[in-house]
Amino acid sequence: MASLTLATLGTILIDNIRHLDGAEGHLGGGGLYAAIGARMWLQPETVRLPTGCSRSSVPKKFLDELDQFGETVWMWDEDSKESMLETEIIDARASFRYLNPRPPLTIACLNAQKIRYLHFCCSPADLAISLAMLSEPRPRIVYESLPINCNPANLMALKAILPLVDVFSPNHEELELFLRGDIESLVSMYAEFGARTIVVRAGARGCFISNKNPMLGACDSRWLLPYWTAEEAKENVRETTGAGNSFLGGLCAGMAIAGGCWTSITDSYAGAAHGSVSASFVVQQPGLPHFSTGKEETWNGESPHQRLKIYFPCTYVLTSGQLEEGNARMSSHTTP
């Protein structure tokens, strides 16, 4: 049976974007971007995204775009009568609607494969149902809630599942939709609810990590800056859609790389550094990064590993001793 580093039950869809001067279609969805964020670091056979539809229902231009990242990444259901989920977006998201029903995606879609990290993007109630279906040994669970479900009415359901989640990762806006306050004080509240590792994706501020699980690295809290500085962002940040999802895919890949064997201690901070690099490629253009193969795989003409060598030591470390450790880690990072 295949062993996966990351599986995601987030969505993959086609965004039909309508402008005054015409229309264009892009692949999108939280699951797609999470898979791409992980794929930057991992071999295609170790990343999986159930699509909930048949391959034959997808236009060829989108299949070709997906297949370049590895045909094994995408799980197709040839018995499904559903087509890929589609949206219509008018005037820069002033109007947004789904054009067809969202295909149901559950743990059963993954055919009981052995998985190290499992990414969810759903309501707390739906997550509770999925977690009840898991058998031991369980994968590490990385969870982001859908913005539509981030409200005080869902707070009790969120509290119930937080102790069962390994990494809870809202963005800064979603964090404040449940409760009010600044990021660091809110993170302390969620930790009291039972969240052991919290990674808040805060856009141009970077990310804030609070870890209380010794299996996921140092038990402390710290900020990591974004990959692009404020000055660099003026030229390099063109579109932020999917950046947070790709961050989580990179986070899972980075923790898997840092952790080595299946049950070993890993490092959520090293994971977040990988996530920041994954997001740095996604924000450079609308849609997915340009991918090419040759002597090595490149994304937008650059290697994620080279970006990590630049980024990781200067953002992760707090002391000179940790700087040496960070540089040593960089020399040993290879794609598994």
The string of pLDDT tens digits covering residues 205-221 is 999 999 999 999 889 99
Structure confidence at residue 17 (pLDDT): 76
Contacts of 149 (CB under 8 A, 6+ apart): 122, 123, 124
| Span 166-211, pLDDT tens digits | 999 999 999 999 888 999 999 999 999 999 999 999 999 999 999 9
pTM: 0.89
Across the range 268-279, mean pLDDT stands at: 95
Residue 25 above 90 pLDDT? no
User: Of 132, 321, 169, 172, nearest to 255 (Cα)?
Assistant: 169
Neighbours of 315 (CB within 10 A): 20
| Residue 331: predicted pLDDT | 34
Q: What is the pLDDT of residues 300-313, one digit of tens each?
A: 999 999 999 989 76
Q: How confident is the model at residue 333 (pLDDT cuts 50, 70, 90)?
A: very low
Share of the chain above pLDDT 70, in %: 86
Distance CA 202, CA 182 (A): 12
Tokens of 267: 């490092």
Residue type, 36: I
pLDDT for 307 equals: 95
pLDDT higher at 238 or 137: 238
Phi, psi for residue 145 in degrees, rounded to 5: -85, 150
Cα–Cα distance between 246 and 279 in angstroms, integer?
Answer: 6
pLDDT-derived band of residue 328, with 50, 70 and 90 as boundaries?
Answer: very low
Least confident of 29-38, 160-169, 175-184: 175-184
Cα–Cα dist 12/30, whole Å? 7
Strands 13-19 and 22-28, sheet pairing: antiparallel
CB 7 within 8 A of CB 219: no
Q: How many angstroms separate the CA atoms of 334 and 274, rounded?
A: 12
- As a whole number of angstroms, the distance between CA 320 and CA 327 comes to 11
Sign (positive or negative) of CA dihedral 192, 196, 201, 202: positive
Q: Are 31 and 72 in contact (CB under 8 A)?
A: no
Nearest to 31 by CA among 56, 53, 16, 60: 53
Contacts (Cβ under 8 Å, ≥6 apart) of 130? 9, 106, 107, 120, 122
The CB density around residue 304, as the number of other CB atoms within 10 Å, is 27
List % helix, strand, coil for the chain (3-state, nearest 5): 45, 20, 35
Distance, in Å, from the CA atom of 243 to the CA atom of 298, rounded to the nearest integer, reads 18
Cβ-based burial of 137 (10 A; exposed 0-12, middle 13-18, buried ≥19): exposed
| pLDDT interval class at 107 (50, 70, 90) | confident
Q: Which CATH architecture has domain 3-332?
A: 3-Layer(aba) Sandwich (3.40)
Per-residue DSSP letter, 190: H
User: What confidence tens digit (pLDDT) does each residue in 218-227 have?
Assistant: 899 999 999 9
DSSP-based three-state secondary structure for 263: coil
Strands 85-90, 114-122: parallel, antiparallel or unpaired by DSSP?
A: unpaired
- Least confidently predicted of 13-27, 75-89, 123-137: 13-27
